[in-house]
A and B are shown apart, each in its own frame.
Chain A
Amino acid sequence: MDEVLGFPPFLSLLIAGLLVPFVPKLARQGLLVLAPIGALVASVMVRADQSFSFTILNIAPVNFLALQDYAPLFGVAFSLVVLAAGIFGINTAKRGEASAALIAAAAALGVVFAGDMISFFLFWELLAVASAYLIFTGGFKHSAGAAQRYLILHIIGGAVLLAGIAAVMVDSGTAAFPVLELSLPFPAATDLTAWAPWLIITGILINLAAPPFSAWLPDSYPEASPFGMIVLSALTTKCALFMLLELFAGNTLLLWMGFAMIIYGTFFSFMQNDIRRMLCYSIIAQVGVMTVAVGIGTEEALLGAAVLAFGHIAYKALLATAAGAVMQQTGKRRFTDLGGLWRVMPVVFFATIIGSLGMAGIPLTGAFIGKSLVHNAVDSLGVTYLSVLFTGTIAVALYLIFPWFIFMGEKKDIAIKPLSLEASIALGVLSLFVLVPGFYPAAINPLLPAPLTHSGYDAPHLVHALELAAFGALGFFLMLPWVKQKKGITLDIDWVYRVLLTHLLQLGNRFLHHVEILCRNVWQILSRRGSSALGRAFAPAGIVADAWPIGITMLIATILLCIFLLLYY
């Protein structure tokens, strides 16, 4: 039965996204700013008793609106980032690009407020398609290829997820979100119901950019436009994290997966020369910290993961905006082409400092609250989980790369264009987004299932956060010659399908080509010899024209009849 008892946050963004390609510029600019504000207000207003369900394909009513524990927190974060991106791209975003950004944001909000698995899957796929189009319209030489690879991988992930959802629905007879347990040892190949959670988590881990499915992120996001990158940096991986929070909290597999993400993301971040590729790898490292917290699974750890994600979305969007501003002002996107720009780009420099402090989890930023909660959760588990804490600190090492190699160090002689007003405003909005929860943690209480009981502002957490950042900086500066970026690109796991698989396909192609030539030659020889033999046989003096004795003729007739009998039976 259709039921409309609430206003889903995705609706304003979806309608705006569909309208944007067809309206004049002024209306487009208005929609880019007003639609995210509508989504922001709607995210805060959602109540537990609301629903928005429709019957689709005569299957069952699909519910597009439900209040999950951390949905308002993620909803507000997504809306704020799209608002800032809308301001940033108010004059530069193309029609298709603006439309794709709004639809992708609508899909992300649809995922976090999904009322059942069908609506969750529909929005999950819509997010993949809209994001791929956003990358496609990036305007760089490799944007189209990157978008294709992004789409292929996410469609495969979506198919795996759908198989898992279908198995769960067949087993339970309902589309409601189930309680999922990953069974170990692996179930029998024929037991599809027992495999369902594994299929669902595989689909989610692909979107989370967990190894070995991680290379799509640094491959595709840097090929989006500066506007597109801001939107993309906030959505896909955080939607995946949200689903892990809701479906797989406390699973030990996530603890190890988070470790792998932290180590992989951190190491590869240090090797990048492209500013935005570096940011992409650092997303993987920091989402890894949240994944570890989800793997711990205590109430405090889950709250920490959600609040940390809120802070992470803010500072990552701020750094993506700063990177976009650097690209717009200098026309450069590589660390080796930049340096010493803090005097000529003061606004972007200060925004970058705020974003980097957020990345380091310094007090007075939103990420500090989340990190304190995660560290508290680890403390409460005791020495057994000491390794969790130590590994979690790895990602802190990254926070100096971005500001140091662009704004400090050796000054490069670069022509600088003035910073646009809209970029300054976007940087300001996102800086506030990073700082307000840090200065006033109670501001996020209305977005949480229960108010924060601990904000991290006590002596141990303050000292520890500052120690991590300061001693990390000491290590960074002592090792500076080794951190210095080099020209070139770094091979990643995508080498397997972009190089190895291509080579194997080429090898197979060459083999088949040779087989084809061989077959053709053999056929030519056989047909030539066969036709000359037939010619000789049927010639006036050939064997067929010869007079045969009656005995041989009878023998041939008998053999033919025997063959006929054999074939008949």
Chain B
Amino acid sequence: MSLRKPTRIEIILAGAAVLIFLLLLEALLVKKGGSLFPFAYAWFGFSITVVCIAGAHHLQALLKRPKDYYQAEDQNG
């Protein structure tokens, strides 16, 4: 039996299941007093990634050059 390629919706559902499972585990930790900063890792893992990507995207407009600016010849990136 060969495995078929999963559809996009199946991948999204699987990912969501993993995230919810991790949040439930964290809730269990908070309840047992084993987490000093509740949900901090999940929240900052997500938010800092988003902030970094958005920041880098906007910084790119300022710093990116289509050719090798230093060598004055097109290296095509």
* Residue-wise interface mask of A (520-551) relative to B, using a CB-CB cutoff of 8 A (1 in contact, 0 not): 00000000000000000000000000000000
Report whether A483 and B53 are in contact in the complex, using a CB–CB cutoff of 8 Å: yes
Chain B residues with Cβ below 8 Å from A508 are: none
**Given contacts A267-B59, A273-B77, A460-B29, A489 and B53 within 8 Å (CB-CB):** no
Chain B residues with Cβ below 8 Å from A440 are: none
Report whether B49 and A491 are in contact in the complex, using a CB–CB cutoff of 8 Å: no
CA A269 – CA B59 in complex, angstroms? 12
CA A386 – CA B50 in complex, angstroms? 19
* Residue-wise interface mask of B (22-50) relative to A, using a CB-CB cutoff of 8 A (1 in contact, 0 not): 11011001000011110011111111111
Report whether A486 and B45 are in contact in the complex, using a CB–CB cutoff of 8 Å: no
Report whether B19 and A487 are in contact in the complex, using a CB–CB cutoff of 8 Å: no
With both beta carbons as reference points, the residue of chain B lying nearest to A379 in the complex is identified as: B36
Q: Which of B26, B53, B57, B71 contacts A397 (CB 8 A)?
A: B53
Chain B residues with Cβ below 8 Å from A487 are: 66, 76-77
- Judge whether A474 is part of the interface by a CB distance below 8 angstroms: yes
Report whether A472 and B46 are in contact in the complex, using a CB–CB cutoff of 8 Å: yes
Size of the A side of the interface (Cβ < 8 Å), in residues, is: 52
Chain B residues with Cβ below 8 Å from A460 are: 29, 34-35
* Residue-wise interface mask of A (481-497) relative to B, using a CB-CB cutoff of 8 A (1 in contact, 0 not): 01100111111101100
CA A469 – CA B15 in complex, angstroms? 12
Chain B residues with Cβ below 8 Å from A266 are: 52, 56
Report whether B60 and A486 are in contact in the complex, using a CB–CB cutoff of 8 Å: yes
CA A274 – CA B68 in complex, angstroms? 12
CA A482 – CA B45 in complex, angstroms? 18
- Judge whether A468 is part of the interface by a CB distance below 8 angstroms: yes
- Judge whether B63 is part of the interface by a CB distance below 8 angstroms: yes
Chain A residues with Cβ below 8 Å from B43 are: 471
Q: Determine chain A's interface SS by DSSP, over half rule.
A: helix
Chain B residues with Cβ below 8 Å from A467 are: 22-23, 26, 41-42, 45
Chain A residues with Cβ below 8 Å from B57 are: 270, 482-483
- Judge whether B64 is part of the interface by a CB distance below 8 angstroms: yes
Report whether A479 and B54 are in contact in the complex, using a CB–CB cutoff of 8 Å: yes
Report whether A271 and B50 are in contact in the complex, using a CB–CB cutoff of 8 Å: no
Chain B residues with Cβ below 8 Å from A336 are: 77
CA A498 – CA B72 in complex, angstroms? 11
With both beta carbons as reference points, the residue of chain B lying nearest to A267 in the complex is identified as: B56
Q: Which of B47, B54, B68 contacts A482 (CB 8 A)?
A: B54
Known contacts A475-B50, A489-B75; 10 further A-B pairs (Cβ under 8 A): A269-B56, A273-B77, A459-B25, A471-B45, A472-B48, A475-B53, A483-B57, A488-B77, A490-B64, A491-B64
Q: List residues of chain A with CB under 8 Å of any chain B CB.
A: 142, 266-271, 273-274, 334, 336, 379, 383, 386, 389-390, 393-394, 396-397, 459-460, 463-479, 482-483, 486-492, 494-495, 498-499
Q: List residues of chain B with CB under 8 Å of any chain A CB.
A: 15, 18-19, 22-23, 25-26, 29, 34-37, 40-50, 52-57, 59-60, 63-71, 75-77
Show 22 A/B contacts (Cβ-Cβ < 8 Å), sorted by A: A269-B56, A389-B37, A390-B44, A459-B25, A463-B22, A463-B41, A464-B35, A467-B23, A467-B41, A467-B42, A468-B44, A471-B45, A472-B49, A474-B15, A474-B49, A475-B45, A479-B49, A483-B53, A487-B77, A491-B63, A492-B63, A495-B70
